[in-house]
Amino acid sequence: MSSGSTTRFVASLLALTLCACTAYHACPLDADTLDDPVLRSIHARYAQLVDDLHADPATNWHAGWQGNALVHVLPGKHMGLCVDWQREVYFGLREHITAEGWQAVPIAVRVGTIREHHAVLVYDPKRVSLRLPDIARPSARSFVLDPWKRGRPDMFSMHDWLRPYAEQHPPFLIERLEPDSRKEKAPRDADTRGASHPDRHHYEPRLRRLPIASRPSPPIAAAPGIGTIRTPN
């Protein structure tokens, strides 16, 4: 067995036990069938962002459970944990999404379990509120950008993406992220204030949960029914 095959074999074994991201449970939307021009614009930027990440010669991007393991065993710079994808998508698209009149929010499910997972929620605040059950209705203008499994610009309806977590309380948590300190920092706003994000290799779900009364200003504050906001200690 070649060294490359051995590495991937080991990575596959590690992926079976590595605590990082959950499996998918819904089919991504077909970009050609999106009926909202703003949503099509967001998806087009999203697709370009994912292409640019894969084209970056300085970083090797991986996807899925095998990618979770490869980032820990291969030499060089490798990315592909769900938190890696989430950060790039959130900070790479937030400005465009806001300019289109929509909102982007980092979210997490199954926090503190072996199937913890992270993605980015985008929604039209003029047509849906960031509260349950509104945000997860089948007709809601709310979608999840989640390229982790395939390394592609997969977009899901929030209703389909969240369905397996409906019995949890809360079904999902809103996260507060700041740009990596090693990169140029974006201006602070209501989505990022007061938080820091650890390096991907040091990520642990040791987070404090803020009661509703302690929430900051909108859009995060407009989330009663979700129950908590999480931010790194």
pLDDT at 141 (0 to 100): 95
Is the pLDDT higher at 222 or at 87?
A: 87
Using one digit for the tens of pLDDT, what is the confidence trace for 215-231?
332 333 333 344 344 44
Using one digit for the tens of pLDDT, what is the confidence trace for 7-59?
554 444 444 434 344 445 678 999 999 999 999 999 999 999 999 999 999 99
Compute the distance between CA of residue 19 and CA of residue 36 in angstroms, rounded to an integer: 36
pLDDT at 4 (0 to 100): 55
**Which amino acid appears at position 25 of this protein?**
H
Q: 62 pLDDT exceeds 90? A: yes
Q: By mean pLDDT, which of 115-119, 139-143, 176-180 is the weakest?
A: 176-180
Rg (C-alpha) for the chain, rounded Å, is 17
pLDDT at 36 (0 to 100): 93
- Residue 51 tokens read as 């292409």
Section 197-225 average pLDDT: 31
Kindly report the pTM of this predicted structure.
0.72
Describe the strand order of the beta sheet including 103-109 as a list of residue ranges: 155-157, 142-145, 117-123, 103-109, 173-175, 229-232, 207-210
Compute the distance between CA of residue 67 and CA of residue 143 in angstroms, rounded to an integer: 24
* Contact predicate 207/230, CB 8 Å: yes
Q: What is the mean pLDDT of the chain?
A: 75
pLDDT at 25 (0 to 100): 64
Tell the burial category of 181 from Cβ atoms under 10 Å away from its Cβ (0-12, 13-18, 19+): exposed
Which segments of 30-189 does DSSP mark as H helices, in order?
37-55, 64-73, 82-99, 158-162
Compute the distance between CA of residue 176 and CA of residue 171 in angstroms, rounded to an integer: 17
Residues 6+ apart with CB under 8 A from 53: 59, 61, 79, 88
- Residue 100 tokens read as 């289109």
